[in-house]
Amino acid sequence: MAESKRRIPHFSYVEEIDVTELEDLRAQLNQKWGESRGKLTLLPLLARAMVVALRDFPQINARYDDEAGVVTRYGAVHIGIATQSDGGLMVPVMRHAEARDLWSMAAEIARLAQAVRDGSAGRDELSGSTITITSLGPLGGIVTTPVINHPEVGIVGVNRIVERPAIRNGAVVARKLMNLSSSFDHRVVDGMDAARFIQAVRALLEQPAMLFVE
């Protein structure tokens, strides 16, 4: 982490997401298939949104070799899942997220988290990510400033979901809102592209049917 902060000029961007429809969809999917396929958390849905959005922002699914001055972009999306353990923060990798469905993602995230916590995660499971998700779950706060997992160039942070009043069609209604707090390597990712990427993720999460349109 110290190396990341020393080397990388971080650009942070925070956006509020209305996840009311997304949470309704997640509840419906869990009610119908939770027993047979396993329960879905928010993370696989966010991972799916990132996979879809990254198609238009390949410069964010990348790693930057500081010494050689070389940026390598990846077609495959290998998502690091920042996970807390007794030994500190570790980042196991969900490989080929672009080829997985929601339940495969959920199962792999759970498997990796357990492997980190019981100390069985191998070196190959803890390296090779191309972009990272970090979440503090119910402790997620309102805003965070996540540190990029060097040598990646982007990290997406999940803050907690809160229910607050919002104006919809002139009426005050209760909505479920969540902030995404993300950081990018400003040497590789322009601020405008970072903002557009998060806005693309936001659009997918707020209209979750679009997550499944190829």
DSSP 8-state symbol, 113? H
Q: Residue 32 carries which side chain, given as an amino acid letter?
A: K
Q: Which of 5, 43, 36, 30 is nearest to 145 (CA)?
A: 5
Q: How far apart are CA 100 and CA 43, in angstroms?
A: 13
Among the listed residues 10, 18, 96, 186, the single catalytic one is 186
H or E element at residue 106: helix 102-117
Whether 101 is catalytic is no
Identify whether the C-beta of residue 197 lies closer than 8 Å to the C-beta of residue 188.
no
H or E element at residue 46: helix 42-54
CB atoms within 10 A of CB 207: 12
Among the listed residues 65, 101, 118, 190, the single catalytic one is 190
DSSP 8-state symbol, 138? G
Whether 186 is catalytic is yes
Return the active site residues: 186, 190
